[in-house]
Structure 1
Amino acid sequence: MNYKIKVYRHFEKEVKKLSKRYKSLKQDLTILAAELMQNPDMGTDLGYGLHKVRMSIASKGKGKRGGARVITLIATLSKEEKEIGLHFIYDKSERENITDKELQAVLKDNGII
């Protein structure tokens, strides 16, 4: 199965904001992308193809537990190709969880519900 990673606008905006505070964030995201290509189903399954993935931020120095959370959505494009969409990223120290309303918005935007 071939996977490709797609970055969504909200994700890009949050990365830009967080990268001002955490200089290693872009490199940390590169590492996460490589991990997702190896294991697209990593993280906590939230249903409907959504996953919450723990990501460490090296410049924060707290490991995965105190790092960031990335919300991904796996979508099937064809028999041989799937897309891993990066929809949300948030700093665990700023926010405990993503709301159900936000998750439903992702599903609605992608025609799943």
Structure 2
Amino acid sequence: MGVAALAAAAAALDALWSLGGAADAIKVVSAWRAYGLLVFSALFTLLAARPRAYRGVWEVVIFHKLAMTLTAVVYQVRGGVADADTIIVADGILTVALVSAYVLCRGWSQRPAPPARG
């Protein structure tokens, strides 16, 4: 998850850097993508730091990456959609990594909260 967090942060920085040169027709969607990458970097960081403390976050992140992969597969089959193959590979690999990490760390279970100190 740490590697995923760093990769998302690097992609976000690249996307933010590119915003100035983005065509007016795609400026908003480019900003949305850049900020989304920052959000995913933060989510991956949280999951890396305390993988059993954020039940529910795992499932949302896995859903998003799986949905992106399947959407890109549909676009690839229909043809004519730029970068569908890149999304299939990147988000597909990330989906497998997320599901593997989820199973290995038992992300569906939550650690009990530490006792309150009074």
State TM-score, norm by structure 2: 0.30
Larger Rg: 1 or 2? 2
Higher share of residues assigned helix: 2
- Relative to its length, the structure with more strand (as a share) is 1
